[in-house]
């Protein structure tokens, strides 16, 4: 899940070179990421508005065919094909945000590797030299920073070059007088303020986004429980990860609150909903609109009014008929009689006249 750390880490390193502070880098980088992903947030808002238009139609199909799952799936598929509805349209932004979040967790666990650019094998050698357990891969880099900052590595052959040693020794992990590599845990300590801010901003962000986007009424019980469970999981992680993750998560939530207010002001969900309702109504009207076509009945060409659905059905039947004729010609083992040949020529000439 932390695969994006390979991209986020080097980019954060560039920010760290400008702002040589772990927490400061995390705050600035989070803001930059939110600005870059703003178009995805707008796309997700559009998808939410579109979903609100199709929800009554989906509920009607589910209720009508609740005892026939096969027919229900068939009708839902028709809805997607005829009206361009896609239930997964809003998943991409959520997936990207999730990958970014886990990528940031990876960077917080391994700042020496990603922010300072020291190779993984060199870090492992240094940890072994300083008797830091390499079994706990998530915490060994923060423990390495703490030992070098405390002077415990003085005079020990760590395997680090002088330049690498200085990078770690000068790595500024202090913010507001507190070490950002510390794990706050569930204890009374001033550093616990960061996880608490993360929890409060998460609640405000989630409540505001669902309220302004009009999702509260639409979201079913199981979906609400899942969303709350995910957010609570991340809050619990804030207490169990190095506190710099709380700095990221809290900053991300504050950005999300501002982003929600901005997008709901400029890109109103109600505006999008009205737009999609108008498009849906136009597509329904186009389906009911009738056209005059010429068809052959009992050997005579007659004009008939048909709607789009009927026309599509006629075209399908005609295509099947042509396929059957081609297959029949392919399967023949005896020459055509004069009468059959004349009949086919007459049919072909009739079709050519219709095309003209």
Could you tell me which residue, 146 or 323, shows the higher pLDDT?
A: 146
User: What pLDDT was estimated at residue 1?
Assistant: 61
Span of 23-37, 157-171, 222-236, 300-314 with lowest mean pLDDT: 300-314
The per-residue pLDDT for range 47-102, each reduced to its tens digit, is: 777 777 777 777 888 888 888 888 888 888 877 776 666 666 667 777 888 888 88
User: What pLDDT was estimated at residue 272?
Assistant: 67
Question: Within 13 A of 238's CA, how many CA atoms are on the CB side?
Answer: 26
Token pair for residue 35? 């600005």
Q: Is the pTM value of this prediction over 0.95?
A: no
Alpha helices, DSSP H only, in 173-307?
A: 193-212, 221-240, 244-266, 269-288
The per-residue pLDDT for range 104-133, each reduced to its tens digit, is: 889 988 999 999 999 999 999 999 999 888
Token pair for residue 73? 């799936």
Is the pLDDT at 27 greater than 50, yes or no? Answer: yes
User: What pLDDT was estimated at residue 234?
Assistant: 80
Q: Ranked by mean pLDDT, which of 149-153, 214-218, 276-280 comes out on top?
A: 149-153
Q: What percent of the chain has pLDDT over 70?
A: 72
Alpha helices, DSSP H only, in 267-337?
A: 269-288, 308-331
What is the chain's alpha carbon radius of gyration, rounded to the nearest angstrom? 32
| Distance between CA atoms of residues 124 and 118, nearest Å | 10
Span of 125-129, 135-139, 162-166, 272-276 with lowest mean pLDDT: 272-276
């Amino acid at each position: 899940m932390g695969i994006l750390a390979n991209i986020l880490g080097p980019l954060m390193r560039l920010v760290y070179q400008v702002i040589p502070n772990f927490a400061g880098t995390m705050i600035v980088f989070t803001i930059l990421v939110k600005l870059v992903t703003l178009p995805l947030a707008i796309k997700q808002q559009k998808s939410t508005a579109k979903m609100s238009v199709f929800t009554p139609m989906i509920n009607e199909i589910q209720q009508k065919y609740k005892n026939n799952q096969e027919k229900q799936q068939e009708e839902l598929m028709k809805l997607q094909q005829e009206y361009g509805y896609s239930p997964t349209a809003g998943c991409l932004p959520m997936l990207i945000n999730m990958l970014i979040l886990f990528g940031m967790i990876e960077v917080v666990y391994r700042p020496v590797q990603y922010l300072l650019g020291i190779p993984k094998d060199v870090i492992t050698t240094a940890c072994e030299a300083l008797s830091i357990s390499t079994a706990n891969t998530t915490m060994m880099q923060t423990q390495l920073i703490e030992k070098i900052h405390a002077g415990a590595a003085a005079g020990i052959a760590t395997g680090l070059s002088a330049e690498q040693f200085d990078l770690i020794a000068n790595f500024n992990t202090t913010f507001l007088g507190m070490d950002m590599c510390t794990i706050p845990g569930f204890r009374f300590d001033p550093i616990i303020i960061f996880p608490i801010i993360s929890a409060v901003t998460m609640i405000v962000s989630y409540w505001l986004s669902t309220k302004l986007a009009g999702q509260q009424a639409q979201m079913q019980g199981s979906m609400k429980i899942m969303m709350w469970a995910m957010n609570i999981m991340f809050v619990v992680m804030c207490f169990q990860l190095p506190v710099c993750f709380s700095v990221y998560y809290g900053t991300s939530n504050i950005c999300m609150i501002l982003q929600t207010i901005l997008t709901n002001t400029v890109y109103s969900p109600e505006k999008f909903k009205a737009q999609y309702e108008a498009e849906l109504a136009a597509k329904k009207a186009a389906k009911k609109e009738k056209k005059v076509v010429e068809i052959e009945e009992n050997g005579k060409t007659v004009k008939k009014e048909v709607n789009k659905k009927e026309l599509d059905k006629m075209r399908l039947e005609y295509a099947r008929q042509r396929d059957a004729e081609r297959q029949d010609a392919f399967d023949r083992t005896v020459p055509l009689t004069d009468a059959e040949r004349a009949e086919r020529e007459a049919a072909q000439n009739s079709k050519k006249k219709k095309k003209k």
